[in-house]
Structure 1
């Protein structure tokens, strides 16, 4: 996997947290229009939010050069996520990436009347640059209108497409403290793991998978005799890297979401700790990387066993869904006989 692919998968895998944090922390609750009127800022990923979003972007960036300033990268990435997800909901399609399109950033490959993903790519960063250059507050909507024309008919998507941000943080399921922490923390996960693996004997062998978790469990058990040893200042860097590797591995494989334990009781293992939440059916399963790292001192297989638990639950969930679909098909087939 090359660097561009790694960045793309990190972009997609962190969509829920990063997009949720952008909506909560970076988009305002109200906005003052040029005529002085104060209006509520829409954050619903609907087409009607695009003109207001574009006005807000123009107020942030005087020139296209400001958009690509490294100091604004976090905000611009959040903007790309929001704008792309808004287009996905309105016209259908999927996120994509390649070497040439999108100024090195993920872009949208839209559906058209010819079929799914048949449209010309919509390079989100290029659209933002064009909007800031034009300063008309009409570019975001014009792009969507053109894409709707390519859908043919009434301009409605041919398939249901709700984008990727189904589990994102909202004001209802998270606190301001959690959003602030995750906004900082998520950006340290990928580089933290990269730096940590470079310090290992064989950096290229630390891929996100069960085998690496088994090896890490053995390493922790051999390295530390007690939890107190893990908590010394000298071990902070190693433990922080290991914790990020554990959490990111099980998150990617089990399709989880980074969260942070704000406002929890002190005796809760998640309290003041980043953890990974998995939504299985109508229940949440939370795994705390710091806690998993500690349990490896007694059982070196405990970290991998945590991943096994998630995989098993996902397999059971898939089996139940398949069975339900099968029962539905049988019911449909039997319906004519039942109505005789």
Structure 2
């Protein structure tokens, strides 16, 4: 996997947290209209949010050069996520990437009347640059209108919502402290893991897979005799990297989301700790990397066992969904026979 592919998968895998943080922390609650009135800023990924979003972008950037300034990268990535997800909900399509399209950033490959993903790529960063250069506050909507024309008919999407951010952090399911922490922390996960693996024997052998979790559990058991040793200052770099590796491996395989225990009781293992949340059916399953790291002192297989639990619950969920689908099909068939 090359560097562009790694960056793309990181972009997709972190969509819910990064996009949620952008919506909560970077988009304003209200916006001043040209006539002096104040309006609520829409954050619903609807087409009607595009003109106000573009006005806001123009208030942030006076030239395209400011958009590509490294100091503004975090904000611009959040903007790319929001704009792309808005287009996906309105016209259908999917995120994509390649070596040439999108100025090195992920772009949207839209649906058309010819079929899914048949449209010309929509390079989100290029659209933002064009909007800041034109300064008309009409570019974002014009791109959507053109894409809708390519859908044919009344311009309605051919598929249900194709957006990714269904588990996104919102004001209802998170706090300002959690969003603030995750906005900083998420950007340290992959670089922290990369630096950590380089310090290990045979760095290239570490991968986001169960075997590596088993090996890490054995390494922790050999390295430490107690939790106090693990918490010593000189061990902070190793433990911090190990926690990130554990959390990210389980998150990727089990399709989870980084969260942070900002407002929990002190005796809760998640309190003031980053953890991974898995939404399985109608219940939440939380895995705390720091807690899993400690359990390896007693059981070297405990970290991998945490992953096994998630996989088992995912498989059970899939089996239940399949059984439900078959039952619905049987009921529908029975109703048809009676008619």
TM-score category (smaller protein): over 0.9
Q: Give the match for residue 44 of structure 1.
A: 44
Question: Is the Cα contact below 8 Å between 1:261 and 1:274 reproduced in 2?
Answer: yes
Question: Contact conserved, 2:94 with 2:110, CA < 8 A, in 1?
Answer: yes
- Please state how far the C-alpha of 1:298 moved relative to its aligned partner: 0.2
Quote the offset at 1:77 in angstroms: 0.2
Per-residue CA deviations over 1:274-295 (Å, capped at 9, x if unaligned) read 0000001000000000000000
Aligned positions of 1:1-340 closer than 5 A: 1-339=1-339
CA distance in 2, matches of 1:313, 1:82: 31
Q: Map Cα deviations across residues 297-337 of structure 1 (whole Å, 9 max, x no partner).
A: 00000000000000000001001111111111111222133
Is residue 21–residue 169 contact of structure 1 (8 Å, CA) maintained in 2? yes
Shift of 1:37: 2.2
Q: What is the SS of the residue equivalent to 1:278?
A: strand
* Structure 2 residue matching 1:65: 3-state secondary structure: helix
Give the secondary-structure state (helix, strand or coil) at the position aligned to 1:258: strand
Check the 8 A contact 2:94/2:162 in 1, yes or no: no
1:60-84 CA distance string (max 9 Å, x none): 0000000000000000000000000
Give the unaligned 5+ runs of structure 1: none
How far is the alpha carbon of 1:338 from its aligned partner?
Answer: 2.9
TM-score when scaled to structure 1? 0.99
Partner Cα distance (1:275, 1:224) in 2 = 22
**Do 1:93 and 1:161's aligned partners in 2 also have CA atoms closer than 8 Å?**
no
Please report the RMSD computed on the Cα atoms of aligned residues, expressed in angstroms.
0.7
In 2, the alpha carbon distance for the partners of 1:303 and 1:212 equals 10
For residue 22 of structure 2, give the secondary structure of its aligned residue in structure 1: helix
